[in-house]
Structure 1
Amino acid sequence: MTWSAGRLCGFDLETTSPDPETARIVTACVVQVGDKRPTQSRTWLSDVDGEEIPAEAAAIHGVTTDRARAEGSDLRQVVEEVLDALSAVVMAGVPLVVMNARYDLTLLDREARRYGMTPLTEGLGDITVIDPFVIDKQVDKFRRGSRKLADLCAHYRVRLDGAHSADADAIAACRVAWRIAQQQPEIGNASLSILHKQQIEWASSQAESLAAYFARTPGKEHQAATVRREWPLVPFVPTPREGS
């Protein structure tokens, strides 16, 4: 059986900023679909640990600071429950489908460390990830235009029910991954372990290409140094203590 015919787990976060090192989780979704079984979905809204949600972030996902504080659960509890949910999925052998995994999985890793929790990858070792963002850029390298989730949904004719909500995006990412698998036999017929290893190489190559673009583009040269090549998450580097 091909991986796309089996169970898939979509994971998505909506957050306070585009920097996974400092952003906080606003909403999260873990959804299991496929394998001819009912969809199982769980979503969370956090209180962002008392921090402010910038207006530009709220404009994207629709959650304001006031709403998060009034309706959100303790962020520590949210992180713990998300880790537990994902751990159960990984232990069951279900691959994680994460659009732009480098961001979401890095952010979850940093949140876990802030609260002294065992990060997902350290607690379980290797995990299998399917990243529609990376795979699409590999199989259709020269297509022009944006490659955000909404764009991929339009390109692959996938329904997106409410962009920029964690549950809608998580399900849509699974749908895009499934569609690519149907259209691209080399993706759909690959074993999960091989596909995961291939994405590590593809993501690194794509990052190098982006860095080169920044380096040769006037006004964007400084951005080249900020491009990360690691995938599916950026390894954590402890900050040296003052005076050490």
Structure 2
Amino acid sequence: MQQSRHWYLGPLASFDTETTGVDVESDRIVSAALVLQPAPGAAPRTTTWLADPGVPIPDAARAVHGIGDEHARAHGRPPRTVVAEIARALADQARTGVPLVVMNAPYDLTLLDRELRRHRGCSLTESLDGTELLVLDPRVLDKHVDRYRRGRRTLTDLCAHYGVVLDGAHDASADATAALELVRTLGTRNPQRLGRMSPAELHLRQAVWHAAQAQGLQNWFDRTGTPERVDFSWPLRPARCGCGRRLEPEHRCELAA
């Protein structure tokens, strides 16, 4: 009974990517990791992927994660294969009902969705084959429980604030592991506000919280004359064409290699 009430004491998974850049519509996955921890303090089990993205890795991206073109070509696998394996792993994870931690989920999950559309002709939702991810986003959760705290809220900043060890930032497995521990800490420190909800309820609430947080940012942009537009969608941004219409995949989703 305790585990059902306090999800942060039970099994959690965590997903992270390293990429060629920050544009989810055009950039590519270079590496990814899925970490599973059955309980607090237990040894995590990690699956990693390295892709040859098929496009040059910019110097700015290489400076962040340390993976360059030569290494990706020599050791990475075709992106078509890698994104299919990632999608299958996430689908398997979703079927277990274990929550999936994704720091800034609209970035990583949207970029994975676009890669699946690019290389497999299907969306992330379709690739989950009828299952649904129960996403826990430490960025959204932190903004909800500590709305007015000043300062940046990157993974590095949040780990420093909550005393979570981040050993080897901008490595997909290290970032995923730290994000998982960060979410456990958020639950432990906020048992009344977060711990009593089920992962399914938290998933639904985060979509609402993120929209409110995005609206606040958009209001600030509008007041300061900044032309940037904020996307309110969470945990996945819908694909759209130039006219703004939502896109659907044109082909049947096939994840077999």
- What TM-score bracket applies, with the shorter chain setting the length? over 0.9
Residue among 227, 230, 238 paired with 2:233: 230
Residue among 43, 48, 66 paired with 1:62: 66
Query: How big is the alpha-carbon RMSD for the aligned residues of Structure 1 and Structure 2?
Result: 1.5
Residue among 135, 143, 146 paired with 1:137: 143
Q: What is the aligned length?
A: 235
| Consecutive unaligned residues in structure 1, runs of 5 or more | none
* Counterpart Cα distance in 1 of 2:25 and 2:130: 22
Residue among 106, 127, 141 paired with 1:102: 106
* Counterpart Cα distance in 1 of 2:86 and 2:37: 17
TM-score by length of 2: 0.87
Q: How does 1:6-85 map to 2 (within 5 A)?
A: 6-35=10-39, 38-49=43-54, 51-85=55-89
Q: Percent identity?
A: 46
SS of the residue 2:220 aligns to: helix
| Consecutive unaligned residues in structure 2, runs of 5 or more | 244-257
* Paired position in structure 2 for 1:91: 95
* Paired position in structure 2 for 1:175: 181
* Counterpart Cα distance in 1 of 2:236 and 2:214: 13
* Paired position in structure 2 for 1:196: 203
* Paired position in structure 1 for 2:133: 127
Structure 1 position 162 matched with structure 2 position 165? no
Q: CA-to-partner distance for each residue in 1:161-183, whole Å, 9 max, x for gaps?
A: 10011000000000000000000
Structure 1: which amino acid aligns with 2:79? L
* Paired position in structure 2 for 1:209: 216
Q: CA-to-partner distance for each residue in 1:182-226, whole Å, 9 max, x for gaps?
A: 0001212211111111100010011111111111224xx211x2x
Q: CA-to-partner distance for each residue in 1:122-155, whole Å, 9 max, x for gaps?
A: 2234321000000101100111111000111011
TM-score by length of 1: 0.92
* Counterpart Cα distance in 2 of 1:124 and 1:4: 25
